[in-house]
Structure 1
Amino acid sequence: MAKISLGKALFKPRAVALIGASDEGRRHHAMAPLYLEKHGYKGRIIPVNPKRKKVYKNKCYPTVFDAPGPVDHALVMTPAKTVPNVIHDCGRAGVKVATVFSANFAEAGPDGMRLQEEMMDAAREGDVRIVGPNCMGVYCMDPPAIISPNRIMQIPKIHKGNIGVISQSGSLTGTFVSRGQHRGLAFSKIVSIGNECDVSVPEVGEIMIDDPKTKIILMFLETIRDYKAFAAMAERAFAKNKPIVVYKIGRSEAAQEFTASHTGAIAGTDTAVNAFFKQYGVIRVRHFESLFEMTFLAMGRKPIKNKRIAVIASTGGGGGMVVDNLGVNGIQPTPLPKDAEQRIFDAGGTVSNGPLIDVTLAGAFPENVRRILQEAFAAKNNGAVIMTPGSSAEFNPERTVTPLKEFLGHEKPFGAALIPEAADTARLMSSMKIPAFKSPESCADAMRGFLEWEEPQPLPKKPAIDLKPVARHLAALGKVLDEFQCQRVFKALGIKQAKSAVAPSIKKALIKSKTIGFPMVVKVVSQDVLHKTETGGVILGVENGKQLKTAIKKIRRNIKRSVPKANIEGFLLQKMESGLAEVLIGYRVDDIVGPTIVVGSGGIMSEIYSDAAVRMAPVSKKTARQMIKEVKGLALIRGYRGLPKGDLDAIADAIVKLSQLAHFGDTIVDAEINPLIVKPKGVVAVDGLIIQNK
């Protein structure tokens, strides 16, 4: 039997087995056979159910192994406990891919996880690929193959188009179809990926990238299970000019808890996810509605450098809402150049020019609107154009909307924020492939997503420093490093450390204080105490031997009270350092997207204000400098209002060096320097943390 590719088995199967199909009632098992036939599937439909002879007009078989081959694709709709045996039969029958609609697997807890593992054992034994389980199926529009029991397929006709969809939510695949069709959007392929125990989001994405009928890929994600495969897929999609637009839940703690329980995955830090998407050229939207509106905004385009927008409106209130929401999203609306304004007046037109380019009611006629649009598209001071029509969009789109057609193919992205409902106009715009924004909020969100979109930035592959000394230190140390051990690792990375020494007792501390000098800081040394400030394990400003004795005694009492079982190994004596500012730099292997580096205001300020920049690690010196610019709290040492400048180059150098820990894979889970003291020349680390994966 000739082998068939996964892509063909998914979307162009010669025969589809519907395992568990029936023709009674309105349950899912009875709907799937109807939808395949209704929407024009040309291959063989093979119902499988040992309790039936026929399903509708098709002969029914007791097992898929009994059916005539070849069967490329099976839709499994039987109870979860039966699925491992069903997949075993699929393997015997040579089925290439099985889409498992059945639920109650990993998403249902430990028992479900064991059942899912049994299913995968059968799949591996029989060389069967699994989509799902707990998924709503696969939809291909051209050639038609609706392999799904989703009730949205009761619609009279599903339109063929260029939009690919991958969703980790099954029911939302129907929402994509419903909302898309009402807006005049059409799809090429839609896949509900379910628990993603085998066939993955990146794997389906790769197939869609190679599909000439798919021009853009929309994704609804709850998690990212294989960040390396996703990154490679995203880079390839960008290179093939097929934008990926993602709506991912997990921005709130409640959503992260839902994600973990719903898909059996651990939700990652959302800021790290943002950094990941930006790194690999993926557009992320914050509103579900924006997924649809992004389609014609991004399709066929690349990122742009000019991030300002010209907003033209025939409704002051509507335009004001758009301008306001753009501002909230960090986008600067810009007026027409003065010479453009004068040309409009000279031609007998009318416009009120400002951050909102107001056509005014008197000027809302096609010739004037077209003239203003021409000036906006020709202007060098903006990179995108938004038209905001008022009531005319509902019944007279030729006045303020249709003139946009003239600019199809223009290098500047553009669209219209429809203030009225104007459903017919929205469909008209979709037919012209012009973005139709349904609200000021979604308009601003889509434009923010587009303007933040950047070309993928490959991570540095070669270490920036010699990592052999670092590796030797790490190999000799345990899971949680005490601060003195951390200093040795950071020093091996080339990051300057404050002068310090460890003393096991007061007597030894008094001796070693002579080499450190006063004033000094005294800290507890214990692998059991990760947060010294909160537990009373730090005393600042120790000026002499008497104060040193008192400080050590106080630390002992504090730790005994706050961490009773802590093993105190000694006391770190550290020279008091001062500078212009404190900076936090941290490295972390995120559960979802892998190694990250973070820069923020130091001390406790980073936690209070959440003022930080995050990137995937390792980073280059150029990226490190960009991160420093993003931290608002560091404006004070960037020369703000004549204040003394800190050594930004030394900060960037420390960021790069700490990010090199990414070359150790998942060996190091967390590493942090907080604070890094910034001086007019140079930096010095005065506190740190390292946790290894041991």
Structure 2
Amino acid sequence: MTSPKDKIARLMAARRVAVVGASNDPAKLTGRPIAYMLRRGFSGEIVPVNPSRTEVQGLKAYPSLAALDRPVDLAIIGTAATQVEAVIAEGVAAGIRSYVVLSSGFSEHDAEGARLQARLTALADEHDVGIVGPNCLGVINAETGLIASFTTAMEENALVPGGFGFVSQSGALGAYWLDLVLQAGLGVSRWVTTGNECDIDLAAGIGMLVDDPGTRVIGAYVEDVKHGAAFRAALVAAARAGKPVFLIKAGRSSAGAVAAASHTGAIAGEDRVYDAFFAQFGAVRVDSVTALIEAAKLVLHGAVPAGERVGVLSVSGGAGVMLADAIEESGLAFPRLAPETARALAGVLPGYSKPQNPLDLTANVLSDTGMFRKTLAVMGAAAEVDACVLFIGLMHSIADVLAETILAARTASGKPFVVVWIGAPRPVVARLEAAGIPVYGDIPAAVTALAHVMHGARAQARAAGLGDASPDAAPGAGARQLTEWRSKARLREMGGLALPDGVLVAAPEAVASALADLPGPYAAKLQSPQMPHKSEHGAVILGLADADAAAVAVADLLARGAAAGVTCEGVLIECMVGFDMELIAGLRRDPVFGAMLVVGRGGVEVELTPDVAMGFLPLGAAEIEAMLRGLRCARLFDGFRGRPPVDVAALAGALARLGERFLAEPRIEEIEINPLVVRGASAVALDALVKEAS
């Protein structure tokens, strides 16, 4: 069977293309692809199919796919939804292996539409054909001029080939991207809108762009990922190929998430899971189509710095400070100038300008463009700077001189120059960008683009070294929640974490003998599968000094359980453990992305202000330690107000071993340890919940 990414690659290479339901009107849905390809010089052959016409838009038309003189590589279908299945079946019989279904009225419409769509999926699987859509805006290959789309973005824009590829689950967002990129003159490689994804999906589109030699940077609009393993493989492949991936993910709210019984499930809301997935596997999430394009512009212009140290030059002191603030807030480095750089600048700057980063060139540039040239040369040569960001405002009278100076400095330096020019003349912008110097209209856009690119480079460097994902069992139906007592028994079998000493008692009379060898003080906890979070129900009593106090607590807790009408296994009595810090550690099987680890600050209030990190298994000890070190509370690991430091490496190692066992135990669907308490080198699972398949 052909892989989905190879299916879309095959479709993109189509040289003979049929348009089913072809219209003679170039404004109609099935007339637009023909008109666009004729106007943009498609290098292949267009074959209209229309039983009512012998000619469409000056081209010979055929009554059906079965009547073609020879097979085509691709059929574009814009018929009514009820006719699409029959058209594809006819095309399969005629040897056609690729289809773009523009028609709507499928799963996005109603139950009957969903059934029609399911039959298209069955056709694709049975006959190994590739289908984009249905309910999509189509695809474009700018290299060949293939425009299997009715998007209005192609009404006026020229189809400029370039290195920017885009995959979108929304036709409209894909059209907006296409229009903006073409207007900016950046150039397009491949463009795919996946629609309802009956066959070819987002992951396949990204995988195709990774393999495409003409694509240098990948953009995507994501609504939901259907095949997590394939999406993961596509992102890792992009990282290994050195192709940055910038994407927009719609829907930051957790309104659609299913409520979970565990804190882990509640914390790992859908949007947080996506964020963690993108970060681990090298994709950068951006907030808008323009932000995506602005980040890609740095890559397409060859202006990605080798490092994150930024030197700032500005004709305005205030703008220089704003740039410095934005750079620091974005997490980029803002180095102090080396003594030799400062001395060289002092020799060319006016006496009232300080040789520092940011460097204020002042309005003196207007009367002394030679000073501008010399300072750019010094800053561009500074070893402590990886990229120069230059702010200019207006200065139309000397714009050509400034542009010439910037071009010369960039050539001499060999480092990226990024220009923020408010009110820049359009010809100057075009000249600079043609030479690989990106120009931005304001400070936030430039700094955000730099941050996205540099953070993405770091993330891709990590992702490129990741091993392939292990096969992971999907969460099943009918899982049962174990009590804490039974959950801890499972953890003991799995090994890796310490647990408090304790006993399960069924009655107050059994307490004295059960605690004979266990020192106090004690904690008593009612054990019921209907009360996973016992503190919420008053089912935990702490600080019991001796067996007599524990017996009273047992009687009290059993009475509470009876009054609540819950099933009780008994009362767990454990030796209390001292600690300095509470953490949470959770392992769960996400229905899309697979097994994942959640670690963070723990306790009963964990959901109020979550301080957590997430990662997808398998994870090594070093990766888990990095997750722990990235928490807001990480300073506490190094000792706080006289407390001993936490052995973070040992804790990470224990969690890594637990993660390995979790992957090896597919019946276990979720483990939550909250709190996981730490003191020095000691880490103890004070409370635990395990959910496993029935």
Q: Give the alignment's TM-score, normalised by structure 2.
A: 0.87
Structure 1's 326 and 216: CA in aligned 2 closer, same or farther, altered over 3 A?
Answer: same
Matches within 5 A, 1:248-647: 248-253=249-254, 269-299=270-300, 306-348=307-349, 351-354=353-356, 356-363=358-365, 366-392=369-395, 396=399, 398-399=401-402, 403-404=406-407, 406-407=409-410, 412-420=415-423, 423-453=426-456, 454=458, 455-457=461-463, 458-459=465-466, 479-491=480-492, 492-556=494-558, 558-559=560-561, 564=564, 566-640=566-640, 643-647=643-647
Cα offsets for 1:607-656 (capped at 9, x unmatched): 23321222222222222222222122231231356643123233222321
Cα offsets for 1:7-52 (capped at 9, x unmatched): 5642232221112222248332232221121111132222223344
Query: What code does the residue aligned with 2:519 have?
Result: G
Cα offsets for 1:375-395 (capped at 9, x unmatched): 434434444332222223797
What's 1:32 paired with?
33
Cα pair 2:246 2:292 within 8 Å, conserved: yes
Cα pair 1:335 1:353 within 8 Å, conserved: no
Cα pair 2:170 2:221 within 8 Å, conserved: yes
1:143 alignment partner, SS class: coil
Shift of 1:145: 0.9
Cα pair 2:254 2:271 within 8 Å, conserved: no
Moved more, 185-194 or 451-460: 451-460
Cα pair 1:268 1:591 within 8 Å, conserved: no
**Aligned equivalents of 2:55 and 2:337: distance in 1?**
69
Query: What code does the residue aligned with 1:680 have?
Result: G
**Aligned equivalents of 1:657 and 1:478: distance in 2?**
24
**Aligned equivalents of 2:157 and 2:302: distance in 1?**
33
What's 1:468 paired with?
none
Query: What code does the residue aligned with 2:550 have?
Result: L
Cα pair 2:523 2:544 within 8 Å, conserved: yes
What's 1:174 paired with?
175
Shift of 1:529: 2.0
Structure 1's 8 and 248: CA in aligned 2 closer, same or farther, altered over 3 A?
Answer: closer
1:389 alignment partner, SS class: strand
Cα offsets for 1:542-572 (capped at 9, x unmatched): 22344324433443455566xx553211111
What's 2:225 paired with?
224
2:131 alignment partner, SS class: strand
Shift of 1:276: 2.5
Cα pair 1:501 1:516 within 8 Å, conserved: no
Shift of 1:187: 0.9
**Aligned equivalents of 1:161 and 1:205: distance in 2?**
16
What's 2:265 paired with?
none
Shift of 1:517: 2.9
1:16 alignment partner, SS class: strand
Structure 1's 111 and 570: CA in aligned 2 closer, same or farther, altered over 3 A?
Answer: farther
Structure 1's 20 and 144: CA in aligned 2 closer, same or farther, altered over 3 A?
Answer: same
What's 1:88 paired with?
89
What's 1:154 paired with?
155
1:534 alignment partner, SS class: helix
Cα offsets for 1:426-466 (capped at 9, x unmatched): 44443223333344333332222222232134446899xxx
Moved over 6 A (4+): 254-257, 300-305, 460-463
Cα pair 1:394 1:421 within 8 Å, conserved: no
**Aligned equivalents of 2:420 and 2:562: distance in 1?**
63
Percent identity over the alignment?
Answer: 27
Q: Give the alignment's TM-score, normalised by structure 1.
A: 0.87
What's 1:74 paired with?
75
**Aligned equivalents of 2:90 and 2:606: distance in 1?**
57
Query: What code does the residue aligned with 1:441 have?
Result: P
Cα offsets for 1:66-124 (capped at 9, x unmatched): 22222111111122222222221121121111111122323345433222111122333
**Aligned equivalents of 1:479 and 1:459: distance in 2?**
33
Cα offsets for 1:248-273 (capped at 9, x unmatched): 2233336989xxxxxxxxx9733333
1:106 alignment partner, SS class: coil
**Aligned equivalents of 2:658 and 2:690: distance in 1?**
11
2:589 alignment partner, SS class: strand
2:672 alignment partner, SS class: strand
Cα pair 1:215 1:300 within 8 Å, conserved: no
How many residues get paired?
Answer: 670
**Aligned equivalents of 2:413 and 2:667: distance in 1?**
49
Cα pair 2:312 2:390 within 8 Å, conserved: yes
**Aligned equivalents of 1:426 and 1:623: distance in 2?**
43
Cα pair 2:618 2:659 within 8 Å, conserved: yes
**Aligned equivalents of 2:445 and 2:652: distance in 1?**
36
Shift of 1:336: 2.6
1:671 aligns with 2:667: no
Shift of 1:207: 2.9
**Aligned equivalents of 2:517 and 2:167: distance in 1?**
63
Cα offsets for 1:266-304 (capped at 9, x unmatched): x97333333323333333333432211222423597997
Cα pair 2:595 2:663 within 8 Å, conserved: no
**Aligned equivalents of 1:385 and 1:671: distance in 2?**
49
**Aligned equivalents of 2:359 and 2:485: distance in 1?**
61
Cα offsets for 1:338-393 (capped at 9, x unmatched): 43122112134574455533222214665434433444344344443322222237
1:333 alignment partner, SS class: coil
Cα pair 1:521 1:538 within 8 Å, conserved: yes
What's 1:120 paired with?
121
**Aligned equivalents of 2:200 and 2:165: distance in 1?**
16
Structure 1's 557 and 106: CA in aligned 2 closer, same or farther, altered over 3 A?
Answer: farther
**Aligned equivalents of 2:40 and 2:206: distance in 1?**
24
Moved more, 80-89 or 431-440: 431-440
CA RMSD, 1 decimal: 3.3
1:190 aligns with 2:196: no
Structure 1's 432 and 541: CA in aligned 2 closer, same or farther, altered over 3 A?
Answer: same
Cα offsets for 1:199-230 (capped at 9, x unmatched): 23333333333332222222222223223222
Cα pair 1:185 1:430 within 8 Å, conserved: no
Unpaired runs of 5+ residues, structure 1, are 258-266, 464-470
**Aligned equivalents of 1:255 and 1:380: distance in 2?**
50
1:196 alignment partner, SS class: coil
Cα pair 1:167 1:221 within 8 Å, conserved: yes
Query: What code does the residue aligned with 1:85 have?
Result: A
Structure 1's 347 and 542: CA in aligned 2 closer, same or farther, altered over 3 A?
Answer: same
Structure 1's 288 and 354: CA in aligned 2 closer, same or farther, altered over 3 A?
Answer: farther
Structure 1's 605 and 366: CA in aligned 2 closer, same or farther, altered over 3 A?
Answer: farther
2:88 alignment partner, SS class: helix
Unpaired runs of 5+ residues, structure 2, are 259-267
Query: What code does the residue aligned with 1:133 have?
Result: P
Structure 1's 689 and 157: CA in aligned 2 closer, same or farther, altered over 3 A?
Answer: same
Query: What code does the residue aligned with 2:570 have?
Result: G
Moved more, 405-414 or 675-684: 405-414
Moved more, 39-48 or 49-58: 49-58
1:42 alignment partner, SS class: coil
